[in-house]
Amino acid sequence: MSPRNFEIFSSAVGDKFTSVQSRSGASDRLQIIFDSSRFELLELDEPQEIEGIKINDGNHRSPLIVHLRDRQTDNEMLLAAVHLARRNEELREQQALGLTEWARGKTIPMVTIGDFNFDYSFVTHKGNQSFATMMRGYVWQWVKPQEWVDTNWSGNSQGEDRYPDSMLDFAFVAGKAREWEPVCNVIVRPEDFPDDEKTSDHRPTELILQL
């Protein structure tokens, strides 16, 4: 999102919520907002590389990662908000590989959610090569939405969606987060698509976890 919208979202949720924002991404950045009365922030990271794999060439967004502790249960988790590269296929695959190697072998609950640009088709049930990389070895569990709903809109000159029956937005869990009964939904609101200057071209993706 644009940095000018950080304060809009922060103000909307109230004072007990804490907002952290990414530095990379120029005018299209990442934000995580969490309930600081429930969660303690242990660490904040925005890596340029993961496990020796370069995931940001300086012109894209790094994952925004928070290490949180649940004050009620003492559970800890790593949460990564992402917006992977769109036009740079090679970098996008490196980003998917980096996220996979980051999660490999860890037992701490891990969650990643956002716009992965994986071009997953509801017709073929396939995505692009970066999607295949992310799914390799079952390191990450894809939390499939309960209903197949387009998550993004890209209109042509005739006002038609250029990529119908597809999704770019995903939620994945790894480690002990698999045990938290994850459920994913795509939130549809009346007349949300096609988007305009006041609305997003992506529908919200909701991930519910039983901590």
> In the predicted model, what is the mean pLDDT of residues 125-148?
97
Contacts of 25 (CB under 8 A, 6+ apart): 60, 61, 62, 83
Contact 171, 143 (CB under 8 A): yes
- Each residue's pLDDT tens digit, 63-112: 999 999 999 999 999 999 999 999 999 999 999 999 999 999 898 999 99
Position 21 scores a pLDDT of 96
Position 157 scores a pLDDT of 81
Residue-range domains of the chain with CATH: 44-208 (3.60.10.10)
- Each residue's pLDDT tens digit, 140-174: 999 999 999 999 999 988 889 999 999 999 999 99
Q: How far apart are alpha carbons 116 and 118 in whole angstroms?
A: 5
- Each residue's pLDDT tens digit, 11-21: 889 889 999 99
Global pTM?
0.96
Position 159 scores a pLDDT of 85
Contact 80, 99 (CB under 8 A): yes
> In the predicted model, what is the mean pLDDT of residues 19-39?
95
**pLDDT at 8 exceeding the cut of 90:** no
Beta bridge partners of 49: 54
Position 14 scores a pLDDT of 87
6 vs 36, higher pLDDT: 36
Q: How far apart are alpha carbons 205 and 111 in whole angstroms?
A: 13
Could you tell me where the DSSP H helices lie in 3-146?
6-13, 89-103, 129-135
Q: How far apart are alpha carbons 86 and 89 in whole angstroms?
A: 7
Residue 135 carries which side chain, given as an amino acid letter? Answer: M
Position 146 scores a pLDDT of 97
Token duo for residue 46: 């925005």
In our burial notation (b when 16+ CB lie closer than 10 A, e otherwise), range 50-81 reads: beebebbeeebbbbbbbebeeeeeebebbbbb
